[in-house]
Amino acid sequence: MSRSFRLARLAGIDIFVHPTFALLLVWVAVSSGLQGRTVGAAAEGVALMLALFGCIVLHELGHALMARRFGIATKDITLLPIGGMARLERMPERPIHEFLVALAGPAVTLLIAVTLFVWLRLSGDWRPLDAISISRGAFVEQVMVANVALLLFNLLPAFPMDGGRVLRAMLAARTDYVSATVRAASIGQGIAFLLALVGLFSNLFLVVVAFFVWIAAGEEAAAVQKRSALAGVAVRTAMMTQLQTLTPASTLADAVELLLSGSQQDFPVLQRGALVGILTRQRLIGALASHGREAAVGPLMEDCPTATPDELLEPMLTRVDATNNRSIAVVAEGRLVGLVTLDNVGELLMVRAAARRNAVPSS
Ligand SMILES: [Zn+2]
């Protein structure tokens, strides 16, 4: 989500918008403009979409504020073309908490729909529902109908919809979290398949949604399996210890020589034995073009995230995740003792998965 841009900050939580959201607005403007054949129709389509996404922000805040009650902070809320996503700092541990956090969003959406309904009734603006659809009718009533659609859609038992999390919480109450996730993810992919099939014959937008659901279900299951494979593993297990290093006075030519002579891609920079930064492969290649081979490493190196050997790998990766670094320096008593790279971690996961397959009892 690093390319999303920040829209606002509500209740201490940053609200981001994914760039593809702009494409959706253009699509809505063009299609409602074509339908109504006026600029006004296009503007109304866009206004309706913005109102709906305002409702989605409130829905996501519902999740975030319920999570806060259980002591879980929310990193940010991102608006995607298929809806919103609140990124919780961690998942609730108890199934009942996940259940309540997952239901808090739909509860907000239901509240919005009921409020709009009551308001329309009291003000006498209510029109028969058969004259209304998401693309046709009085504005407030359209927003209400959209919220009802959002509510029903969100309760589909498929990741990343809330119904998927409710389903997992219910499964997890009976079995472990990993199996519950894997089972909920395959149910979600089954539903995505059906959605795509229905969409092929009715609405192509459904096919796009089904595609997102399919991917999200797979990613959710993979992330949970990865977390569980790494649970309890210390940083020391995954770090490489045979390291090539540079000093601030080294030249880019020295770095190129190291890069070509082995498999290491990112090079810690040491000054009198102390870590002062890192020169990544990407940075090196960019700097070669702009600064030439004889430039010193010192002014070009970047800050390097660090870890200690005894720290647990999984929370460390979560902590570093947001910084977009591929390498983490492992430091003990002020000395560099190793380097963890995302490739190392990938290899470790493969080794552990293979070891587990071989450990299947032969009886
Ligand atoms: Zn939700």
**Could you give the C-alpha distances from 340 to 111, 271, 275, 280, in angstroms and in order?**
48, 20, 15, 13
| Cα of 161 from ligand 1 centre, angstroms | 6
Locate all alpha helices (DSSP H) within the chain, ordered by sequence: 20-36, 39-69, 95-123, 139-154, 162-172, 177-201, 204-230, 235-238, 252-261, 281-291, 313-321, 342-358
| Cα of 169 from ligand 1 centre, angstroms | 14
| Cα of 58 from ligand 1 centre, angstroms | 10
Whether the pLDDT of residue 1 is over 50: the answer is no
Whether the pLDDT of residue 273 is over 50: the answer is yes
Poorest-pLDDT segment among 46-55, 275-284, 298-307? 46-55
pLDDT of residue 256: 92
| Cα of 323 from ligand 1 centre, angstroms | 26
| Cα of 103 from ligand 1 centre, angstroms | 7
| Cα of 121 from ligand 1 centre, angstroms | 27
pLDDT band at 131 (very low <50, low <70, confident <90, very high): low
Average pLDDT over residues 303-327: 79
More confident residue, 134 or 117: 117
Among residues of the chain, what percentage have pLDDT more than 90?
A: 11
Beta bridge partners of 274: 271
| Cα of 166 from ligand 1 centre, angstroms | 10
| Cα of 140 from ligand 1 centre, angstroms | 22
Please compute Rg for the chain using Cα positions. Answer: 25
pLDDT of residue 128: 67
| Cα of 64 from ligand 1 centre, angstroms | 10
pLDDT of residue 137: 59
pLDDT tens track for 188-244:
889 889 989 998 888 887 888 888 888 888 888 888 877 777 777 888 888 888 888
pLDDT of residue 37: 67
pLDDT band at 257 (very low <50, low <70, confident <90, very high): very high
**CA torsion, points 276, 281, 282, 285, in degrees to nearest 10?**
110
| Cα of 99 from ligand 1 centre, angstroms | 12
The CA distance from 31 to 196, in Å, is 22
Poorest-pLDDT segment among 33-42, 77-86, 224-233, 280-289? 33-42
pLDDT tens track for 48-85:
888 888 888 899 899 988 988 888 888 888 887 667 77
| Cα of 209 from ligand 1 centre, angstroms | 15
pLDDT band at 306 (very low <50, low <70, confident <90, very high): confident
The CA distance from 177 to 235, in Å, is 24
pLDDT band at 111 (very low <50, low <70, confident <90, very high): very high
Beta bridge partners of 83: 80
| Cα of 36 from ligand 1 centre, angstroms | 32
| Cα of 96 from ligand 1 centre, angstroms | 16
The CA distance from 230 to 350, in Å, is 11
| Cα of 94 from ligand 1 centre, angstroms | 18
pLDDT band at 26 (very low <50, low <70, confident <90, very high): confident
**Mean pLDDT over the full length of the chain:** 82
